[in-house]
Amino acid sequence: MTTLEIKNRLIKRIESTENQDILQEIYRLLDIDQDDLEPLQLTKEQRIAITKGQQDIKKGKHLTDRTANSQIDRWLKK
């Protein structure tokens, strides 16, 4: 797909959506007047998951990228 085709498709999708969350995210990604946007609000569940993940990292409960990819490769071969 050419750059022009991508731009045209994006323009059509943006014009057709009424979803404010999507439009704000597009706006944020394009970094247009960043000061006008409110920070992303996380749900309680998201904050809990982030905290748990941070605690797991502190406890050494994490995988290296290499180890994780190796495990995924083994799972996909089953």
Q: How many residues does the chain have?
A: 78
At residue 33, the pLDDT reads 64
Tell me the whole-structure pTM to 2 decimals.
0.45
User: What are the domain boundaries of the chain?
Assistant: 1-41, 42-78
Question: What is the Cα–Cα distance from 22 to 73, expressed in whole angstroms?
Answer: 34
Mean pLDDT, rounded, of the chain: 90
Return the pLDDT at 35: 66
Asked if residue 31 has pLDDT above 90, the reply is: no
How far from 23 is each of 8, 51, 76, CA to CA, in Å?
16, 29, 36
Question: pLDDT tens-digit profile of 32-51?
Answer: 666 666 778 899 999 999 99
